Amino acid sequence: MMSGRRTNLAAARKSAGHTQESLAAALHIDRSTVIRWEAGDYTPLPYLRPKLARLLRQTPEQLHALFNIAGTAPPAEPLSKDIAHACAWLDQRLDWPSGASARSVADRLPSVRRDLPARRARRARVTQQQIARALRAYYGDDPVYSTYTDGDITTSILTRADWLDLQTPLTSEHEHSTVETSTGERGTVEIDPAAALDRLAEVEAAGVRLTNDSLYRILDIDVRDDGLHTRLGVAEFLEYALTLDLLENELLDAIADGRRTEPGTLPLRDSYLPDLASVTGLSDRLCVGGIVVLTAIARPGNDYAVLLQDRSAAVVNAPNQRTVIPKGFHQPITDTTADAPFRVSLLRELEEELFGRTDLDGTLGPSLALAPLHEGRLSAPMRWLHHHDALRLEITALGINLVSGNLECACLATIDNPDFWTTFAGDIEANWEAQGLEAHAALTVSRPIGPGPASTPWNNEGLFAYVQGLNRGT
């Protein structure tokens, strides 16, 4: 029902030098929306109000008065601690009034809770091959980089000849890392407010854990004769989760709904990663890194068990997908400089995802230990490996995942002493990030192995690390 024409709003628009058309264009909305505002039919959504206030040269309080908006109303329902924190972060990042994001997320929750189960079921039916084909078609060919293939396997991992079939040890002698703790505005990502709010509402409705840990951002990476050289910066997880990490679901939804996926049809991808130059220009954008590790454990009888997981629905990254284990982001634990080598993230993930170290799980709270990977704090399996010098870590390949632009460090973690299996096989247990853990005999597996249920598609970077790891083993 109409509440009366807002003549003061129209006057403020004209005073600021805007027509209805120019105001709508500046806000990326349709002119009919502005007409309805001035007619008194609607009020602007919360995420539009800060920019609208700037365009009309009004304070937030003056804008609220123009629309008769109560500026201090709490969210329709309380949000979880993680999402409330993310909403506060988003308010600050977008220069919005305190509580604006929380109200918008709460407003979205009823419809998201209604639609999300069907949406997630549709996404789960999209196969790894469909994703790879769509991204290959979107980006086309390049003389240096190409998407990784092996036989009839095609992935979304963009790589090049000198990044494949590596045998680079992950040791202090072979990893050379530098960290730039201040990168200024380089690679700052513009947040799409509506997409970010939709993501937070989905995360809240699904009960996914979302904490704003620090991540390493990849500025440069190179494999040389003396090992791996990396130049890193530091970013916030929410900066990634509310920007480039949105690209996966945008693509999955388009494929699941039978929509086109070429350039010009995926707004977020068209903005964040529009071409191969933007994908490969690591230092000019936000590029976070990850480790994907094929773990192979010698068993009595002269074979190796290779481990696979089916990811839980409760994870932010690669939910409901089949992949290798461990798998995690490259991020500092307590010391930004000392934790910069990829081997630190690999050891942390082994402890957390397979050996039961919950104190290393950042989603459960910050670590209170100064040196959480000190020998005195290691799990019994990891301490045994350390004393027997039985754990061999190496990089098998590097690639950029076209799904979200992440730099994937494919690794192989090999335990060659079969006594470890005899002693500790019963202690190996995946954490909450997995909904299933399997061991397969490396000497008898085919590619890809372990198809799992029909609803569990392979994860592209996991398949990349799996095949490269097997190639290394053979």
**pLDDT for 2:** 40
Is residue 377 scored above 90 in pLDDT? yes
What mean pLDDT is reported for the chain? 89
Amino acid 111 reads S
End-to-end CA distance of the chain: 72
For 362-421, list the strands marked E by DSSP: 391-401, 406-415
Q: What is the tens place of the pLDDT at every residue in 168-227? A: 999 999 999 999 976 554 446 899 999 999 999 999 999 888 999 999 999 999 999 999
Best CA proximity match to 448, nearest among 463, 438, 462, 460: 463
Q: Which of 65-69, 147-151, 315-319 has the highest mean pLDDT?
A: 147-151
Per-residue pLDDT tens for 334-362?
999 999 999 999 999 999 999 999 888 87
For residue 74, give both structure tokens: 């709490």
The domain ranges of the chain are 1-71, 129-187+206-234+274-473
Distance (Å, whole) CA 344 – CA 21: 54
Give buried/exposed letters for 169-185 (b at 16+ CB in 10 A, else e): bbeeebbbbebeeebee
Q: Which amino acid is at 151?
A: G
What is the per-residue pLDDT for 49?
Answer: 80
* 303: nearest Cα among 380, 415, 394: 415
Structure tokens at 246: 């949105």
Write the burial class of residue 41 (CB in 10 Å: 0-12 exposed, 13-18 middle, 19+ buried).
middle
Query: What confidence score (pLDDT) does residue 72 get?
Result: 46
Architecture category of domain 1-71 in CATH: Orthogonal Bundle (1.10)
Res 43: pLDDT: 81
Q: Is the pLDDT of residue 153 over 50?
A: yes
Q: What is the pLDDT of residue 57?
A: 84
Q: What is the CATH number of domain 129-187+206-234+274-473?
A: 3.90.79.10
> Rounded to whole angstroms, how far apart are CA atoms 270 and 433?
31
Alpha helices in 125-165 (DSSP H): 128-139
pLDDT band at 369 (very low <50, low <70, confident <90, very high): confident
* Structure letter (DSSP) for residue 316: S
Contact 310, 458 (CB under 8 A): no
State whether the Cα torsion 153-158-159-164 is positive or negative.
negative
Q: Given this model, what pLDDT does residue 1 score? A: 36
Integer Cα distance of 247 and 245 in angstroms: 5
What predicted TM-score, i.e. pTM, was given to this entire model? 0.83
Q: What pLDDT, on the 0 to 100 scale, is given for residue 70?
A: 58
Helices (H), 208-266: 237-241, 246-256
- Arithmetic mean of pLDDT, 51-79: 74
Tell me the mean pLDDT in the region 248-266: 96
CA distances from 248 to 106, 220, 269, 403, 436 (A): 24, 24, 9, 6, 23
Contact between residue 399 and residue 410 where contact means Cβ atoms under 8 Å apart: yes
**Phi, then psi, of 292 in degrees rounded to 5:** -125, 120
| pLDDT score for 474 | 60
Q: What is the pLDDT of residue 451?
A: 47
Q: Which tops the pLDDT comparison, 72 or 391?
A: 391
| pLDDT over threshold 90, residue 118 | yes
